[in-house]
């Protein structure tokens, strides 16, 4: 399940992740995707940060899947941004 916990237009989006099957539920936002936009000399830099999956039992597979998801999602976000500009 995902919950948007912070949204600042053209700056930041933080989406908390949770699963009911996790034995220990971390604090909201500890396990999250954080997308940040930064102006870099007239270009936009997208930073994606992945939350701390070590807080949950057997968190490594979730972290690995999140890294893969981030790698694919940044490509899609770039394509959408470029289409929007054009």
Using one digit for the tens of pLDDT, what is the confidence trace for 50-86?
999 888 888 899 899 999 999 999 999 888 888 876 5
Please determine, for residue 6, whether its predicted confidence score (pLDDT) is greater than 90. Answer: yes
Beta strands 2-8 and 32-40 are: unpaired
Q: Give the pLDDT band (50/70/90) at residue 25.
A: confident
With DSSP H G I counted as helix, E B as strand and the rest as coil, what are the percentages for the chain, rounded to 5? 35, 35, 30
What pTM was estimated for this model as a whole?
A: 0.81
**Can you read off the two tokens belonging to residue 11?**
């700056």
Looking at residue 86, what is its pLDDT? 57
């Amino acid at each position: 399940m995902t919950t948007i916990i912070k949204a600042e237009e053209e700056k930041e989006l933080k989406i908390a992740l949770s699963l009911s099957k996790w034995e220990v539920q971390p604090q909201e936002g500890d396990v999250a995707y954080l997308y940040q936009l930064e102006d870099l000399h007239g270009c936009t830099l997208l930073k994606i940060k992945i939350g701390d999956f070590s807080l949950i039992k057997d968190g490594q597979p979730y972290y690995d899947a999140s890294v893969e998801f981030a790698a694919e999602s940044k490509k899609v976000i770039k394509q959408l941004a470029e289409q929007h500009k054009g």
